[in-house]
């Protein structure tokens, strides 16, 4: 029963995040950057349900990005799978979750993600301009991701507590 509920929660949240990232946010006029919804989803799944689910979520989200985006198959899958696994691994080791700590981990996630994208999408083609890439694309995305993360993670925590799905029994505190 737990499995079905978890599956439902993941299915709905992945669909929601995918739609938001690929459809809703790009259509909103005057938005500077698109928050990285898939990363939020993978991060949340990893922290809520452990490394196995984090890995699966990472693979699914990465495949969605690979298929609906225009890239090489496996490009996003690889990094998101690793991030999901790593987050799950971290959550299993952590006693309690404090929001600032989560933020730090999210920032590290974002940084690793963008470093990966930069190295394998730009550096490999001899594009060395990291600073413009960082200031124009990465930094606005960081900020937006921070804000949206609270909403998504809050909803997921609420639902999984209600249905008693959470693997890591640590308490979520603001400070």
Partner 1 sequence: MSIFSSIVKFLKVHIFDHFTAKVCLVLVTGLCVVSLLYNYFMREDSVSVLTVIGAVVVPFQEGANKVGSILFKAEEERMDLVQARERIAELESQNADLNRKLDEADSLFVENEELRSLLYAKKRLSDYEMLEAEVIGNDGINCFERFTINRGSMDGIKPDMNVINNDGLIGIVTEVGLNYSIVTSIIEDGMNVSAMTKNGHENCIVSGDLKNSGMSTLILKNALSEVDLTKDSTLVTSYISDKYLPNLLIGYAKDVVLNNGSLTQSGTVKTAVDFSRISYVLVITTMREELQEVE
C-alpha 43/C-alpha 28 separation (Å) is: 24
Q: Residue 149 Cβ, how far from partner 1 at the closest point, in Å? A: 23
* 1, 28, 131, 175: which one binds partner 1 (CB under 8 A): 28
* 8, 11, 12, 24: which one binds partner 1 (CB under 8 A): 24
63-102 residues near partner 1, rule: CB under 8 A: 66-68, 70, 72-75, 77-78, 81-82, 85, 88
Number of Cα atoms under 13 Å in the Cβ half of residue 144: 16
Six token digits for residue 11: 């299915």
Six token digits for residue 135: 């200031």
Is the Cβ–Cβ distance between 80 and 38 less than 8 Å? yes
Torsion sign across C-alpha atoms 128, 133, 134, 138:
negative
When asked if residue 55 is in the footprint of partner 1 (CB under 8 A), the reply is yes
When asked if residue 141 is in the footprint of partner 1 (CB under 8 A), the reply is no
Q: Which residues bind partner 1 (CB under 8 A)?
A: 19, 22-24, 26-29, 50-52, 55-56, 59, 66-68, 70, 72-75, 77-78, 81-82, 85, 88
């Amino acid at each position: 029963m737990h499995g079905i509920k978890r599956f439902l929660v993941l299915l709905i949240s992945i669909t929601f995040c995918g739609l938001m990232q690929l459809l809703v946010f790009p259509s909103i006029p005057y938005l500077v950057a698109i928050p990285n919804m898939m990363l939020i989803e993978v991060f949340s799944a990893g922290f809520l349900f452990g490394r196995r689910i984090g890995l699966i979520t990472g693979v699914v989200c990465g495949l969605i990005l690979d298929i609906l985006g225009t890239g090489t198959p496996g490009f996003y899958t690889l990094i998101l799978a690793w991030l999901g696994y790593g987050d799950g691994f971290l959550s299993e080791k952590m006693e309690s979750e404090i929001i600032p700590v989560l933020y730090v981990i999210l920032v590290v996630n974002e940084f690793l993600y963008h470093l990966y994208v930069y190295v394998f999408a730009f550096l490999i083609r001899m594009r060395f301009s990291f600073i413009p890439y960082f200031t124009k694309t990465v930094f606005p995305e960081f900020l937006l991701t921070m804000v949206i993360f609270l909403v998504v993670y809050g909803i997921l925590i609420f639902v999984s507590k209600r249905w008693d799905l959470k693997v890591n029994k640590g308490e979520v505190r603001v400070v």
